[in-house]
Structure 1
Amino acid sequence: MRKIKKSTKKQDERQKNIQKGKMNSSRERIETKNELKQVEESWIDKEIRNFYQETKRDKEQHPKPPYYLKDREGHLIGDKKGKLNRITEYFEELLNKEKGEIRKSNYESENEQGDAELEVILTAPTKEEVAGNIESLKNNTQEKISSQQGGEAIIRRLWRLVA
């Protein structure tokens, strides 16, 4: 228990000195390195409780940086309520659009002209393509397993399903 109390006193002193500007960055790095060594030693010596307490303390000293969102005009939003409002607004817009509108708007953002519509032409695969894909799935199977388990019937069924 003494170890923990000493380290908290040291860290409290360190934080006060940093806030007052008495500690320079090189000394701060050295102390951080020593603290990391102490945490590592706790792990190696199987002092699990000390290890978790020290890592928790380090985590509390270095909070996560805040994240921001942009509103429609491009301004940053930092408060929690504003972020939640922007997220709900975004998903309402996204979910209320028709499928065609979404495709068209995505294409227009990529293509500045916006005069042509996005058309995707899909052709049904041939039986040979289906058979080739099935064969590629069987490449790394064990020798005990027969590669002819489905045979031509499985190829036909999958081809009908996809086509």
Structure 2
Amino acid sequence: MPDRDGDFTTYVVQRRPQLYRLAYLLCGDAHRAEDIVQVALAKLYGAWDRASRLEGIDAYVRRIVVNSHLDETRRPWRRERLRDREQLDVPVPAPLGVEETDALWTALRGLPEGQRRVVVLRHYWGLSVEETARDLGISTGTVKSQTSLAVHELRRVLDPAAMTGERP
């Protein structure tokens, strides 16, 4: 048992920042991201004996985080929230300027949840189409179409001139 707890603690210390970033990018709220990570880690601890032997433990844990986020959005009290969330969000430090970061977060929040999940896993985490499909439990075709729609929408919102062919 002590080795089990020690191994789990070591894994959590190493991976928690990445898990938090994933949760934050999925939900867009710092407090909810903390809750999602806590729930995911509790689930992981319960399955640690089996999970620690997996070759792709990071993919397994990402799937737990994504599923925890999905579970959280299905809870009835989550449906009763403010429509204007910008005043509640805590920005994550980024190399972009403040205006660019705000525009990016606003554009990401404007995407449907399925598209946002695909964009986060594909373009932020750098997962392949197959890894993303496996993590989300959807087909590779769905990943491709959701990515295409999301990227098109992000381009439209973030750089309208590029969509019309107009350049200064």
TM range (shorter): under 0.3
* TM-score for the superposition, normalised by structure 1: 0.23
* TM-score for the superposition, normalised by structure 2: 0.22
> Taking CA–CA contacts closer than 8 Å with sequence separation of 6 or more, which of the two structures ends up with the larger relative contact order?
2
> Which has a greater percent of helix?
2
